[in-house]
Structure formats: C-alpha cells, structure tokens
Amino acid sequence: MKWRDPVSVAGKLREIKSPLLKAEYCYTRDELAASLSRYHPIGKYPVVQTYARGVGLGHMIFVYKGEALLSFQHIRKAEWPPEGGTSTVCSSLPPSFHPEWMAQSVALLRHIGWQGAAMVEYRYDKQTDTRALMEINGRFWGSLPLAYHAGARFAWLTYSVLGLHEIPEIAEYRAGMTCRYMTPETRRVLTMVFNPGYIKDRTLTISKASVVIDYI
C-alpha cells in the first residue's frame, strides 16, 4: 500500500495519531483489511498495488519535438530501503538490452507530449525477464551521476537544446559502468547485516556474507 499524495493526508493522520507509512506490505487478506481499517476515521485510503518483484530498471530519455535525442538505461543492483527506493548501486546497460522496451518508453513519452529529460521506471524481474511499469519521473534523477560518467550528458543536452536552442553532437555512452551512492549504501549494508528485522519485505532473501563481500 502506498499513498498517492502523502502530503494531503499527513495532517489528518496526525489528528488520529496514526503514522504516515511510505509503504506497507500486506501478505494476507486479513492483514490488508486490518491495515485499511486504520484509515476509516479519515475516509481516505492508500493505493493498493500488486507486488512486483525484482529490481529497478530506468529508461532515461531526452525528447525534443517528438524525437528521442538521447536514450540511456541502467539497472539497480541495490536500493535504499532494500525493498526498493533510492538507487545505491547501479550500472549502465547497453542499448542492446531489450531495445523494444526502450522503444515503448519513448512512445509513452511521445504520447503524453513530453519535452525534455524524463525517466520511465520499471521493476525488472531477472528470473522471468519481465518488467512492470512503475512511474514516469519528469525531472533529473538520483542516478544522474552514472549517466554523466558513462557519457550520457543529460544536463548539458537540456541546457543546449532548451536554453541555447542548439543540438550538440551526441556520442555513444559507455555500458557496464557502475556508480555507488556511499551514504545510503553503507546504511543498507549495516541494516541488512545487523538489523534485518527492519526490512518489511519478507520475500527478500539475504546473504549477509554476500552483502558484505559485494560492498567491499
């Protein structure tokens, strides 16, 4: 369960002394009913979504007059919180990784008439090689440093096209580059090793040794 607009309900939740939960997992029908009952007094309820397993897959795209001038994609190897959130370790993917998916993301942005940079975000399940659409972030994103260091210069392209009205030369980006967001990644590792009970997603399997080795 996740609130569509947390700000709009924060005050009402304080009035009934109920915490504002960013995300909540319910594994049975009874758990779901009990969780929803807490919100009867305010008459507003969070969105109930089907669980999508996997990791984050981001399609970063710059669209100008219906044309995708720059496309870049990355896979999230770790996130904070561990259930899914801010990218803490991510790697650039080659254009050959499911190009048909990227074409669908471009078509989606064209359909809504988007101009500029945006990220179409999915949840990718490696075991089944499928993905579920999560959202469109119509802004620069937290993993922008990965795109920059891989050679996908979205900030410069935005300034050049929308500010200077010039389209610069666009080079191919480098696949296989990895970036790490050290502060939340350290917090993730410490939580998974010393406080795994904090993790709300019971479906996550944790190997403490693998977590530590990967971090080092």
CATH number of the domain enclosing 113: 3.30.470.20
Q: How many CA atoms are closer than 13 Å to the CA of 98, on its beta-carbon side? A: 17
Does residue 131 fall inside a structural domain?
A: yes
Query: What share of the chain has pLDDT > 90, as a percent?
Result: 88
One domain, residues 74 and 165: yes
Amino acid letter at 117?
A: A
pLDDT, mean over the chain: 94
Geometric angle at alpha carbon 43, from 38 and 49, rounded to 5°: 70
Q: Of 54, 78, 22, nearest to 132 (Cα)?
A: 54
Using one digit for the tens of pLDDT, what is the confidence trace for 28-74? 999 999 999 999 999 999 999 988 889 999 999 999 999 999 999 99
pLDDT for the residue 83: 84
Same domain, 70 and 148: yes
Question: Do 35 and 114 fall within a single domain?
Answer: no
Furthest-apart CA atoms within the chain: distance in Å? 58
Residue 1 maps to a domain: no
Q: Give the pLDDT of residue 200.
A: 82
Residue 199: pLDDT band by 50, 70, 90 thresholds?
confident
Looking at the fold, whether 17 and 85 belong to one and the same domain comes out as: no
Residues 141 and 98 in one domain: yes
* CA distances in angstroms from 206 to 33, 34, 91, 199, listed in the order given: 29, 28, 21, 10
Under 8 Å between Cβ of 134 and 121: yes
- Cα dihedral across residues 171, 132, 19, 26: positive or negative: negative
Identify whether residues 64 and 115 lie together within a single domain. Answer: yes
Output b/e per residue, 78-102; b: 16+ Cβ within 10 A: bbbbbebbbbbbbbbbeeeebeebb
User: In total, how many domains does the chain have?
Assistant: 3
With 90 as the cut, is the pLDDT of residue 95 above it? yes
- Is residue 114, in this structure, part of any structural domain at all? yes
Per-residue pLDDT at 187 exceeds 90: yes
Instruction: State the Cα–Cα distance between residues 96 and 162, nearest whole angstrom.
Output: 29
Q: Which of 168, 170, 150, 144 is nearest to 94 (CA)?
A: 150
DSSP 15-76: HTT----S-----SHHHHHHHHHTTGGGT--PBP-----SEEEEEEEEEETTEEEEEEEEEE
Residue 22 is predicted with a pLDDT of: 83
pLDDT band at 12 (very low <50, low <70, confident <90, very high): very high
124 and 191 share one domain? no
Residues 122 and 170 grouped into a single domain: yes
The answer to whether position 76 is within a domain reads: yes
Q: Flag whether 73 is in a domain.
A: yes
**For residue 177, what pLDDT is reported?**
97
Q: Residue 215: pLDDT above 90?
A: yes
Considering the domain architecture, whether residues 168 and 198 belong to the same structural domain is answered as: no
The helix/strand count (H/E) of the chain reads as 7, 6
Instruction: Decide if 64 is inside a domain.
Output: yes
Confidence of residue 122 (pLDDT cuts 50, 70, 90): very high
> Distance between alpha carbon 16 and the CA centroid of its chain, in Å?
31
Same domain as 77, residue 34: no
Amino acid at site 96: S
Q: Model confidence at 212, in pLDDT bands (50, 70, 90)?
A: very high
Structural domain including 193 reads 184-215
Position 49 in a domain: no
* Assigned domain for 162 exists: yes
Mean pLDDT of 175-187: 96
